[in-house]
Amino acid sequence: MRMTPEGGVTIPPEVQEKAGFKPGDNLEFVFDGASGVRIVAEWKPRPKAQIQAAIAKLRGSAEIGMSTDELMRELRGWDDEPPGVLG
């Protein structure tokens, strides 16, 4: 990647997808000492209605055998992997 004179950098689509970055996400640059910089998606709280819908969907999940991983994906809204951290 090459930085533009204005300081812009284009993140390749395959990296965006793997990291879980979406248009409109705020990204943070986290300095990792001598090892470099990580790009991290800023955490955004979910709207109350979305949280209530997830809770309603999960009610009784213990009886239907939902795994811990499935439960966490449902609660956090991840399709496959958590929002990524590059680095």
User: Does residue 18 sit within a domain?
Assistant: yes
pLDDT the model gives residue 4: 92
pLDDT the model gives residue 66: 75
User: Does residue 32 sit within a domain?
Assistant: yes
Residue 26, domain extent: 13-86
**Among residues 20, 77, 22, which one has the least CA distance to residue 51?**
77
User: Does residue 7 sit within a domain?
Assistant: no
How many residues comprise the chain? Answer: 87
User: Does residue 27 sit within a domain?
Assistant: yes
User: Does residue 19 sit within a domain?
Assistant: yes
User: Does residue 43 sit within a domain?
Assistant: yes
Which residues, other chains included, contact 14 with Cβ-Cβ below 8 Å and sequence gap of 6+? none
Number of domains in the chain: 1
User: Does residue 6 sit within a domain?
Assistant: no
Tens of pLDDT, residue by residue, the chain (87 residues): 788 999 988 999 999 988 888 888 888 888 887 778 888 888 777 678 878 888 887 777 666 677 777 777 777 776 655 556 554
pLDDT the model gives residue 71: 74
User: Does residue 66 sit within a domain?
Assistant: yes
